[in-house]
Chain A
């Protein structure tokens, strides 16, 4: 199995801050990384696929980058609705794929 390690596991930030979440794969996975947002009591929501492509309807303040083993999700200016848990997912191998352990983003 390809392991996905996210950092940090949690962080606190202010509305308006720029935030970056990192995901590291245990082997090279090209650009086969997807990012999800999950709010409490809700199903996950796909934000970014293929490391950099914004899913339709997702605000442009979200962006993704990376290749190989290191990937980032950036939120350029945090909004109140962005406080949630974020997961990366590798889609390199045949499915079922693996998620990172999640990063909980809280209001400071």
Chain B
């Protein structure tokens, strides 16, 4: 079984950069796809991007393309989500999620990282 441990809550100002992490325990991320899900306050779930196992190809939902960067450091079994210039509208809860087969749903989830962007 895989456990995903995310970094802690962040409070940032608009225009600042941020990188949050998701460390995997119990299996190697080269065997799993891993993705990031945004949940804005009081709203539903949105897939932002996914990293495929093996070659770590990344795919972004068009609305997030150019807004964030996702990456994986396989040497420390950790995935990242980063912003170069935060906006107030980036405020929300961000979850990493993973599975062996992407079509069969995400059966492993991190606990979430709350990002608050406010001046």
Chain A residue contacts of B61, Cβ below 8 A? 96
Question: A45 to B109, Cβ gap below 8 A?
Answer: yes
- A91 is an interface residue with CB less than 8 A from chain B: yes
Q: Which of A11-19, A76-84, A98-106 contacts B (4 or more CB under 8 A)?
A: A98-106
CA distance in complex: A15, B109 (Å): 28
Question: A44 to B47, Cβ gap below 8 A?
Answer: no
Residues of chain A at interface, number, CB under 8 A: 25
Known A43-B112, A95-B59; judge A87-B44 contact (CB<8 A). yes
Name B's interface SS: strand
Chain A residue contacts of B110, Cβ below 8 A? 43
Question: A44 to B35, Cβ gap below 8 A?
Answer: no
Most B Cβ at <10 Å: residue of A49, A96, A100: A96
Please tell me which one of the listed residues B45, B46, B102, B107 contacts residue A95 in the complex, with CB atoms under 8 A apart: B102
Most B Cβ at <10 Å: residue of A32, A95, A102: A95
Residues of chain B at interface, number, CB under 8 A: 25
Chain B residue contacts of A89, Cβ below 8 A? 105
Closest CB-CB distance, A51 to chain B, in whole Å? 11
Question: B59 to A43, Cβ gap below 8 A?
Answer: no
Closest CB-CB distance, B16 to chain A, in whole Å? 25
Question: A102 to B44, Cβ gap below 8 A?
Answer: yes
Cβ contacts B29-55/A at 8 Å (1 or 0 each): 000010101000000111111100000
CA distance in complex: A91, B104 (Å): 8
CA distance in complex: A44, B97 (Å): 9
Chain B residue contacts of A45, Cβ below 8 A? 109
- Give me the 6 closest cross-chain CB pairs, A-B, nearest first: A96-B47, A34-B105, A43-B109, A49-B105, A49-B104, A91-B103
Interface residues of A (CB under 8 A from B): 32, 34, 36, 38, 43-46, 48-50, 53, 55, 87, 89, 91, 94-102
Interface residues of B (CB under 8 A from A): 33, 35, 37, 44-50, 59-61, 95, 97, 102-107, 109-112
